[in-house]
Structure formats: structure tokens, C-alpha cells
């Protein structure tokens, strides 16, 4: 069975890597990899870390690219790939424009689509934007739906997806995370390299790790986050580290507001290994990232979600994350409550991660093998 795995961003690559590593060892599959290059440098970091060499690289990223140009260029490139490889299945991940474009391109060629991380929903088409509609449209096209949680499965069933075509797998990001943590903990030279890479880390201070890059937070939302960080940085018991996304809508205002401020360290986007290390060192994580909401609980790190909605309500219900929006004073208040180390911190840091046990990729590959046998 010929399977083409398609992805284009760093988060997709991290979540797809455990599946690809599992599939290449299965003789029943001829597995090839296509990257769109929707995010270039950050994608390449993950490919290098996992020693993944794409068979096809569409390299579509352009300066100030729009959603329309991403979709158009990805579909045109994939049409050429399909004409060369003729896959039986196209494997997509999550909610990016690459995911939707690959699904639609496959549909036009009547190629079956399997969707990893299916069924997440906010029911608000503009939050997260454009990810919510990307997921919903991919669901309409896909033949197999790998839901990370039971709640995601119920979302799919509510949209009349055939039950036999849904499998609850857990999230593959937990597979990737647990493997990476084990690698750091069992290789002292790696831990030493990470220490030398971040010599400014002070174990006597509580580390607040920040990620903020989503489109719906561009402008006022991101400015409010930065204003909150300026207030928090006045404390002498914290350090703030912010790997700044390369998108100029993020890098521009963040650098303007936070550059050269005491206790705030603006660093480049980190390779996956280094970012996991920073999550391990963090005391609190403030993020608008979906993947971090899933990963951090496995490390016992409370997550404050700087968004108005989340398609990952399982973490909120489990108590591993708290949805707080982007209001400046709300962010300051919630971070400071966690910094106090009281009951909220204890409950969030010990809550059970609802996103999986590290065996999602195995379940996905076994289900695809059943399709081959049919």
C-alpha cells in the first residue's frame, strides 16, 4: 500500500515523525514523505532532529505569504507529486493550511485521506483562525479519522462520521515528547549541551516560558501579552524566556516592546530538543500553542492558555491548563497566583495528562495495516 505523508510546519512534523518512524518498518507499506515547506526553517529543524529526508519538497514558503498562496501552491505541487507517486492513501496531520490543501488535492484525485488528530473543535470558525475551518473541511474529506481523545471522537460522531472510521489513538505529540525527554535524561552530554546553550538560566528563579504566535492574537492580543510580561519581569524571582516566532506580525511588535528588558530573554525559535529542555526547566508556561497545551502536562507544568477559545478542552477539564485570554491584568494575576506555589499550582502540576500514553503512532499504523489487508 502506497502512503504519502504530507506536512508543512514544525508542529506537524513533530506529530507526524513517530508515525513515519513506525511506518517505514512495515513491509506492507511503501511510505514516502512530502513537505510543503509552509514554514521553512522551523520545519527543517525537526526534519534534522528526526533524520527525516523528504522524498518531495514543494518549498512553497514566500515572504509575506497569504493563506490563499499557501493553499494554491501546495495544491499545485501536490498534483505533480500524485502524478509521480500515485499514492493509495494521503496521511495528514492536524489543522494547518497544508493539511486542508493536501486533503482537497487528494480528493480531486480520488485518493483516500487519513487524518491524524481529527475531531478537535471550538465551533467558532474564526477562532482559531484558519485552523478551525481547516479541521472541519478535512473531516468532510477524510476516510479515516484518528481522534486523539474520546471527546474528539464524540465531536466526529456528532457530525455523522461513520463510527467504524474513527479510532481514538491518543496524541502522537506525547509519543514524540516522551521519547525526547528520555533521550535528554539518558544522555548526560546532551543535558550539558543544553546547559551551555542557555547559560543565563538561573535555577534560583522561576522560569516563565512563553510562546505566542497565533493569527487571531496578532495586533492587540499580542500587545496585551507583551504588556503583561513587562509587569511580570519587574519581579526579582522570575526569568521570562520567549522563543519568538519568525512571522513579522509576531517578531516586529515583540522585539519593539520587549527587547533589552531586564529579566526577559527573547531568543530565536528553538529546535525541538532545546524547546523540550526549556519546558522541562519551566515553572509556568504561558502559550497560545495547541501542541504545548498537550505536551506540558506530561512534564507536570501548569499551562495558561492565552486565547479566547481552545479546541483542546480536555486539558481545561482535567485541570492541566487554564484558558485565560489575552487581557493584560488577567495574565498577570493568573501567572502570579501560580508563582505563589499554592493549591492551584499543586493541582495543575499533578493532574493527569488527558492526551495520551505515548502509543498513538503504534495504534495508527496498526489501523492502516488493517486497510491494507482489506
Which residues carry out catalysis?
95, 117, 131, 213, 215, 245
The closest alpha carbon to 328, from 306, 311, 297, 299, belongs to 306
Task: Give the whole-angstrom CA distance, residue 215 versus residue 124.
Answer: 14
- 46 to 8, 34, 170, 227, 232: CA distances (angstroms): 11, 14, 21, 31, 32
Q: How many CA atoms lie within 13 A of 244 on its CB side?
A: 23
Contact 303, 315 (CB under 8 A): yes
- 199 to 180, 196, 203: CA distances (angstroms): 21, 5, 11
Cell of 52: 527525516
Q: Kindly state the DSSP code that residue 95 receives in the 8-state scheme.
A: T
**Strands (DSSP E) found in the chain:** 2-7, 30-35, 56-57, 89-93, 112-116, 144-147, 166-168, 206-211, 238-243, 264-267, 284-287, 303-305, 321-323
Task: Give the whole-angstrom CA distance, residue 323 versus residue 337.
Answer: 14
Measured in whole angstroms, the distance separating CA 20 from the mean position of its chain's CA atoms is: 17
Task: Give the whole-angstrom CA distance, residue 292 versus residue 14.
Answer: 12
Contact 309, 124 (CB under 8 A): yes
Place of cell 533589552: 260
Amino acid at each position: 500500500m502506497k502512503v504519502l505523508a504530507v506536512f508543512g510546519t514544525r508542529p506537524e512534523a513533530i506529530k507526524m515523525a513517530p508515525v513515519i518512524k513506525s511506518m517505514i518498518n512495515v513491509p506492507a507499506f511503501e511510505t514516502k514523505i512530502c513537505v510543503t515547506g509552509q514554514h521553512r526553517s522551523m520545519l527543517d529543524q525537526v526534519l534534522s532532529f528526526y533524520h527525516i529526508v523528504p522524498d518531495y519538497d514543494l518549498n512553497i514558503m514566500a515572504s509575506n505569504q497569504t493563506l490563499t498562496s499557501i493553499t494554491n501552491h501546495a495544491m499545485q505541487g501536490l498534483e505533480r507529486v500524485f502524478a509521480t507517486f500515485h499514492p493509495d492513501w494521503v496521511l495528514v496531520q492536524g489543522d494547518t493550511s497544508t493539511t486542508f490543501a493536501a486533503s482537497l488535492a487528494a480528493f480531486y484525485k480520488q485518493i483516500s485521506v487519513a487524518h491524524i488528530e481529527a475531531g478537535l473543535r471550538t465551533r467558532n470558525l474564526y477562532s482559531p483562525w484558519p485552523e478551525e475551518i481547516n479541521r472541519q473541511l478535512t473531516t468532510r474529506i477524510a476516510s479515516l479519522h484518528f481522534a486523539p481523545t474520546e471527546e474528539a471522537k464524540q465531536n466526529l460522531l456528532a457530525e455523522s462520521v461513520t463510527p467504524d472510521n474513527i479510532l481514538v489513538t491518543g496524541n502522537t505529540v506525547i509519543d514524540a515528547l516522551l521519547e525526547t525527554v528520555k533521550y535528554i535524561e539518558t544522555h548526560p552530554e546532551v543535558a550539558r549541551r543544553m546547559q551551555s546553550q542557555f547559560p543565563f538560566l538561573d535555577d534560583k528563579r522561576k522560569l516563565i516560558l512563553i510562546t505566542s504566535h497565533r493569527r487571531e492574537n496578532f495586533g492587540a492580543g499580542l500587545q496585551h501579552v507583551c504588556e503583561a510580561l513587562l509587569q511580570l519581569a519587574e519581579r526579582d524571582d522570575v526569568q521570562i524566556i520567549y522563543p519568538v516566532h519568525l512571522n513579522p506580525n509576531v517578531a516586529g511588535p515583540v522585539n519593539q516592546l520587549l527587547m533589552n528588558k531586564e529579566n526577559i530573554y527573547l531568543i530565536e525559535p528553538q529546535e525541538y530538543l532545546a524547546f523540550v529542555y526549556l519546558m522541562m526547566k519551566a515553572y509556568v508556561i504561558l502559550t497560545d500553542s495547541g501542541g504545548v497545551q498537550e505536551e506540558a502536562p506530561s512534564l507536570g507544568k501548569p499551562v495558561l492558555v492565552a486565547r479566547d477559545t481552545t479546541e483542546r478542552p480536555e486539558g481545561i477539564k482535567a485541570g492541566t491548563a487554564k484558558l485565560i485570554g489575552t487581557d493584560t491584568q488577567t495574565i498577570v494575576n493568573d501567572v502570579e497566583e501560580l508563582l505563589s506555589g499554592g493549591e492551584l499550582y499543586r493541582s495543575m502540576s499533578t493532574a493527569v495528562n488527558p492526551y495520551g500514553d505515548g502509543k498513538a503512532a503504534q495504534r495508527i499504523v496498526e489501523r492502516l495495516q488493517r486497510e491494507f489487508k482489506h
